[in-house]
Amino acid sequence: MRYLIMRIVVFHDRIFLTLISTLSSLARSHCKESTPQRELCFIAIGRGNMGDRGLLESCVLNLPSTTRFIGTLDAQALFNEVGIDAERTFTYSYLYLFNRWKRIRDLFRLALEISRAKIVYVVGADNLDGAYSNFFSSLHWNVALAAAASKKPSTVLGFSWNESPSKLANKLRIKAQKQGVELMVRDSISFQRLSDSCGRGLRQVADLVFSNRYLSEMSDFYDRERQEPSEPYVIVSGTPFRALRDNKTHTLEDFLPIFKAVGQDYQIHLVPTVCRANQNDLDIYLQIQEKYGDQYEFVIYDRLLSPSEYFKLCRNGKLLITFRMHPAIIAMQAGLPTVMFEYQGKMQGLARDLGVENYVLDFAQTSEVNKVINQALEHNDAIKVEILSSIEGQRKRADLNFLQRESLTRK
């Protein structure tokens, strides 16, 4: 029953967005409206997530300066932080809520935005395969489908695809490909999963954050008064928050093998990557400090760093151990060897493309933690060379996300 209700909502949204945007486009064409069309970027982000800010910065740097950005109400503050003019943004409040009339109002406004666009970009990231939410992924697909039905070039930027996508998300993906939506897949494993079923309009690229050259250019301008750490340090960024919250088999004790492997020769810098009311890495870090603070030297960062600040910190570190993908990408752009804990099948694709797949672990693989971290510390210089030799290729692939409407071929 729940799946049926979701199908009805998704079908309603697609028909509504397509109908309104198409009729509006026809009306504008008939009336020869003089309002200039411009690029439209649909990006579902919010404050309190380093990865979200990195994605937004990449889009601002690479899309035309006239691009109009659409996001949640929570994203408005983030739009302001990265310097996007207010007239270039549009935010909605009710698209993710089942408030019938207010939601229809926001859908109507979104459809009008699509009708005014000359090209529509949808930032996919990890929101498209239904792993987080069918409702969330469906809205992204419906924006792309409505644009394609309105004869607007439509592109889904750098996204990953789980080995077990939801049935609904997969149907919408197939429909999008049939309607000519360009799909930019951000890692080789996701690309292979989609190529096996349908390769039309499909290109392997890299995550958008690889195209964020703002990181190195601006890192020296952030926190000039912050004194660089004098002791050698290892960074731990993010937490498996959902696993600790929802899975009773995971506890704070699962961090202990990490700390033991790092040992007492290094400071351990705990750097949050998500700080939100319902998901806050700092809460976990404070518990870690209380439980293990007498055994290890922790340095806790009590706020969310900007991507450029984080990049600066990574340039002088010895090793990163992370539970989140975008902090791993930023760190490796700084040349920092990285051990990644897998979630949703995303880390393995990234690691394969960078040649460091031996440094990906599952949070439950406590028996392997000591060996992998010790190898990363022992072969630190060799890993750094491997990463830096692969980064430029990833940057070039990431730039392909933003090339407008080149013909795609099956690869």
- 330 and 305 share a domain? yes
Q: How many helices (H) and strands (E) does the chain have?
A: 16, 15
- The reply to whether 219 and 198 lie within a common domain is no
Q: Mark which of 204, 229, 264 sits at the end of a domain.
A: 204
Helices 325-333, 50-62: crossing angle, 10 deg rounding = 60
Q: Is the dihedral of CA 321, 193, 364, 290 positive or negative?
A: positive
Same domain, 67 and 175: yes
Please name which of 255, 263, 328 lies closest in space to residue 296, comparing C-alpha atoms: 263
400 in any annotated domain = no
Report which of 137, 119, 138 is spatially closest to residue 127, judged by C-alpha positions: 137
Domain-located, residue 403: no
For the chain, the distance separating the N- and C-terminal CA atoms, rounded to the nearest angstrom, is 39
Residues 200 and 271 in one domain: no
Looking at residue 211, its pLDDT comes to: 93
Single-letter code of the amino acid located at 396 = K
Q: Which residues contact 19 (CB under 8 A, 6 or more apart)?
A: 111
* Shared domain check, 267 and 197: no
Looking at the structure, tell me whether residues 79 and 187 fall in a common domain.
yes
Residues 250 and 303 in one domain: yes
Q: Which of 41, 58, 148 is nearest to 394 (CA)?
A: 58
Q: 184 - beta bridge partners?
A: 203
Q: Are the C-beta atoms of 69 and 88 separated by less than 8 Å?
A: yes
The structural domain count of the chain equals 2
Q: How far is CA 373 from CA 85, 238, 329, 369, in A?
A: 44, 17, 18, 6
Residue 283 lies in a domain: yes
pLDDT in tens, 299-318: 999 999 999 999 999 999 99
| Residue 95 belongs to a domain | yes
Residues 236 and 381 in one domain: yes
Q: Do 223 and 100 have their domain in common?
A: no
d(CA 399, CA 350): 16
Residue 238 lies in a domain: yes
Q: How far apart are CA 46 and CA 52, in angstroms?
A: 7
Q: Of 338, 157, 164, give the one whose Cα is nearest residue 237.
A: 338
Final residue in a domain of this structure, among 204, 230, 260: 204
- Residues of the chain falling short of pLDDT 70: 1-12, 16, 23, 25-36, 96-99, 197-200, 217-230, 241-250, 344, 364-366, 404-411
Rg (Cα) of the chain, in Å, rounded? 22
| Spatial CB neighbours of 22, under 8 Å, sequence gap ≥ 6 | 115, 149, 150
Same domain for 224 and 367, yes or no, is yes
- Closest to 51 in 3D by CA, of 310, 236, 286: 310
Q: Can you give the CATH number for the domain in which 184 is found?
A: 3.40.50
pLDDT of residue 400: 93
Domain containing 327 — which CATH number?
3.40.50.2000
- Assess whether 133 and 236 both reside in one domain: no
Is 411 contained in some domain? no
CA–CA dist 404, 40 (Å, integer): 13
Domain limits at 333?
214-394
Question: Looking at the domain assignment, is residue 409 inside a domain?
Answer: no
399 found inside a domain: no
**What letters, b where the CB count within 10 A reaches 16 and e where it falls short, cover 227-253?**
eeeeeebbbbbbbbbebbeeeeebeee
Q: Bridge partners of 267?
A: 233
User: Is residue 129 domain-shared with residue 14, that is, in the same domain?
Assistant: yes
pLDDT in tens, 65-121: 999 999 888 788 889 888 898 889 988 877 766 667 788 888 888 888 999 899 999
Rounded-to-integer distance, Cα 205 and Cα 191, Å: 9
d(CA 133, CA 181): 21
pLDDT score recorded for residue 10: 67
Q: Which of 173, 204, 235 is the last residue of a domain?
A: 204
The answer for residues whose C-beta is within 8 angstroms of residue 376's C-beta and 6 or more apart is 319, 337, 338, 339, 359, 383
